[in-house]
């Protein structure tokens, strides 16, 4: 056996091994590796994290993960009642890590009201004296066929999912730059990596986040600022309840079935926390086949687009919540 034949065989074996690992993973391979041997979640102890969009879903569970390891928290969303419940959960979970009442600050506000951002950031600094990590997790989903979407819906989605987060980040940045240290986390989506059917406005906002924050990373990394883009796939949450449609002000009111194949929110939040403490640039968190498709779209984009063009709509409908699929089918 000559050297080149040996090299070819080794290469094939490595590719096969990687494919097997991907098929049995629920996150990209770097994330899976660092979950085992990377920086431990206990490194969050004593640091101040501001979780925006903490009243439910991934944000809520992420707050719980951080609290369990002794992180100090600012939790924000529009719904104060839900935030109070999250704070109670954080204090209960974080009791063994030494968390006390003053270590969890509730700051209810609407991220789209950008003129208020400086006020709320000042309250964070007044309470804790510093901020270590800003987690931009707020956002709203949307489901509709491309040709039916009213332009006002696009504008509303961008206002909520993009401009509010970008402005809040710019408000916080001078504090990070003054310290030459800081960490910005942005919850994007697997839909921010390829054009998933039946949610173009939502997908566009997630793609836009990558445009903004990848550029910001190139400018800010030399100044000591880390940026982590988190791309979750489908998880069990109430995201469909207030899901936008093609019409301004309309809500889909969809519901995810408990038996549907989606990642548990707690598991997704755990992997988000791992990505954050390890300061990864970008992570993919999803069950298969979406995780595998992300790799295909990254390394064989023409093949991925051909698949989406031929089978994307049918696949999207099959993987949506029951009420959502019915609503889309009726349109």
Fold annotation for 28-291+302-329: Rossmann fold (3.40.50)
pLDDT of residue 315: 60
pLDDT band at 245 (very low <50, low <70, confident <90, very high): confident
The token pair at 214 is: 């990848």
For the chain, the domains span 28-291+302-329
Q: What is the pLDDT of residues 43-84, one digit of tens each?
A: 999 999 999 999 999 999 999 999 999 999 999 999 999 999
Element (H, E) at 186: strand 182-187
The active-site residue out of 202, 295, 299, 311 is 202
Give dist(CA 93, CA 285) in Å, integer. 24
Dihedral, CA of residue 266, residue 109, residue 44 and residue 272, to nearest 10: 40
Q: Is residue 49 flagged as an active site residue?
A: no
Contacts of 29 (CB under 8 A, 6+ apart): 18, 21, 22
> Do residues 135 and 235 lie in contact, with contact meaning Cβ atoms separated by under 8 Å?
no
Q: Residue 193: helix, strand or coil by DSSP?
A: coil
Give dist(CA 199, CA 139) in Å, integer. 14
Average pLDDT over residues 99-118: 97
Task: Look at residue 324 and tell me whether its pLDDT is greater than 50.
Answer: no
């Amino acid at each position: 056996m000559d050297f080149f034949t040996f090299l070819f065989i080794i290469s094939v074996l490595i590719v096969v091994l990687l494919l097997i690992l991907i098929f049995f993973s629920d996150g990209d391979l770097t994330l899976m590796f660092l979950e085992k041997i990377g920086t431990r979640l206990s490194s969050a102890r004593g640091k101040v994290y501001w979780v925006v969009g903490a009243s439910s879903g991934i944000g809520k569970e992420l707050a719980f993960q951080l609290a369990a390891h002794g992180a100090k928290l600012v939790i924000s969303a529009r719904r104060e009642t839900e935030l109070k419940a999250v704070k109670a959960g954080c204090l209960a979970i974080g009791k063994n890590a030494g968390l006390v009442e003053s270590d969890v600050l509730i700051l209810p506000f609407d991220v789209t009201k950008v003129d208020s951002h400086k006020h709320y950031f000042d309250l964070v600094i007044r309470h804790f004296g510093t901020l270590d990590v800003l987690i931009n997790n707020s956002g709203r989903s949307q489901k509709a066929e491309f040709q039916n979407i009213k332009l006002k819906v696009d504008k509303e989605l961008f206002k909520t999912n993009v401009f509010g987060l970008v402005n809040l980040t710019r408000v916080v940045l001078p504090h990070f730059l003054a310290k030459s240290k800081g960490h910005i986390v942005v919850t994007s989506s697997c839909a921010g990596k390829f054009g998933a059917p039946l949610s173009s406005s939502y997908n566009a906002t997630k793609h836009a986040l990558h445009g903004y924050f990848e550029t910001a990373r190139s400018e800010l990394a030399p100044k000591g600022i880390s940026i982590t883009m988190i791309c979750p796939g489908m998880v069990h949450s109430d995201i469909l309840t207030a899901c936008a449609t093609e019409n301004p002000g309309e809500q889909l009111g969809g519901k995810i079935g408990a038996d549907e194949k989606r990642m548990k929110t707690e598991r997704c939040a755990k992997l988000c926390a791992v990505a954050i403490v390890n300061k990864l640039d970008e992570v993919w968190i999803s069950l298969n086949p979406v995780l595998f498709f992300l790799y295909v779209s990254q390394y064989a984009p023409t093949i991925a687009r051909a698949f989406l063009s031929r089978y994307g709509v049918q696949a999207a409908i099959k993987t949506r919540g029951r009420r959502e699929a019915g609503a889309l089918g009726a349109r």
